[in-house]
Amino acid sequence: MTHRLLTGLAAGFLLVPLVTPPAAAVPPDNDSPAGAVRLRLDERVVQDTREATTDDQDGRLNNFCGAPATGASVWYTVHARRDRDLVVDLRRSDYSVGAMVFRGEPRPRTLVNCGPERVAFQARAGTTYSVMIFNDTRDQGGRLVATLKVAPKPRIELSVARRGLAYRNGDARVRGSYRCRGEGAGFLFGSLEQRAGRLKIPSAFGTRIRCDGRRHTWSVRAVSEIGLYAPGRARVVVEAQGCGLASCTTEKARRTVRLVRAGGSSVRSQAPPPVERPRLSTTRAWPR
């Protein structure tokens, strides 16, 4: 009897499945700055960041950036061998991702640039940069795809047409063409000056331009507070500004133009407010 009981108990134990406790999530080696991985130029890095974590340091570093979240953060380093504009491109990742770039050790005061999807910076020879890549939503990571590339520099071609218009009311119109290769919008501002005997008739103007790589025409109406423009020679000076991913550029053009008579109303136009030069920036912040 005892033997049969022991045999039955043994058989019962054999029928009970062995349950393996779930494995604890293991963060990646580059979950903190101490384990940062070297990111090389033109190298494509793919990483599963679903087990990556976030901590109080991420929050403190975000004080000067303003990302909506800093989840599943992982760390990389970039060592610049020479001066050049670089961009960390994250657009092929399968989750919402952003990055912060720091000069040397990651501290709030060493933040160089930050933003979603693509973050560019002006690298200096011999400097190592710390790069934190993170999920900028409340989700928990995903398939990260990161590439370090050389950021194209912005380029502007600018010209002034030979002829302008002198309207009956004393206004003038000057024009020209431009091509801006960069990101987003730029700005064109300039001045028109004509002499009437010993009197100088000046005006300033400004207008936004598009940096889409295509050739466009610019045209502005110039109104002087001092006098009236008339047919004849006048001097035009224009300057265009545009930005790329990491830096901005300026191009200037000057020309003596001939103003020819145009029709239009004889009612004097009101002089526009002083032209303020906008502060162009390469920082791409998150929408608030």
Residues 81 and 61 in one domain: yes
Residues 160 and 146 in one domain: no
pLDDT in tens, 210-234: 999 999 999 999 999 989 999 999 9
Residues 67 and 138 in one domain: yes
Residue 209 resides in a domain: yes
CA distance 288 to 285: 9
Mean pLDDT of the chain: 87
Residues 59 and 87 in one domain: yes
Residues 34 and 115 in one domain: yes
Q: How many domains does the chain have?
A: 2
CATH number at residue 72: 2.60.120.380
Q: Are 226 and 199 in contact (CB under 8 A)?
A: yes
Q: b/e for 173-183, b at 16 or more Cβ within 10 A?
A: bbbbebbbbbb
Last residue of a domain, one of 150, 183, 203: 150
pLDDT in tens, 27-59: 899 999 999 999 999 999 999 999 999 999 999
CATH number at residue 202: 2.60.40
The residue type found at 242 is G
Residues 193 and 89 in one domain: no
- Length of the chain equals 288
Residues 110 and 177 in one domain: no
From the list 235, 173, 230, 233, the residue with the least C-alpha distance to 207 is: 173
Per-residue pLDDT of the chain (288 residues; tens, 9 = 90+): 545 544 544 444 444 455 555 555 688 999 999 999 999 999 999 999 999 999 999 999 999 899 999 999 999 999 999 999 999 999 999 999 999 999 999 999 999 999 999 999 999 999 999 999 999 998 789 999 999 999 988 999 999 999 999 999 999 999 999 999 988 789 999 999 999 988 999 999 999 999 999 999 999 999 999 899 999 999 999 999 998 888 899 999 999 999 999 876 655 666 566 556 555 555 666 665
Residues 140 and 164 in one domain: no
Domain that holds residue 115: 29-150
Q: What's the gap between Cα 264 and its chain centre? A: 42
Last residue of a domain, one of 128, 150, 172: 150
Residue 35 resides in a domain: yes
CA distance 132 to 88: 11
Q: Are 27 and 52 in contact (CB under 8 A)?
A: yes
Number of H helices, E strands in the chain: 2, 15
Last residue of a domain, one of 150, 171, 205: 150
Residues 37 and 102 in one domain: yes
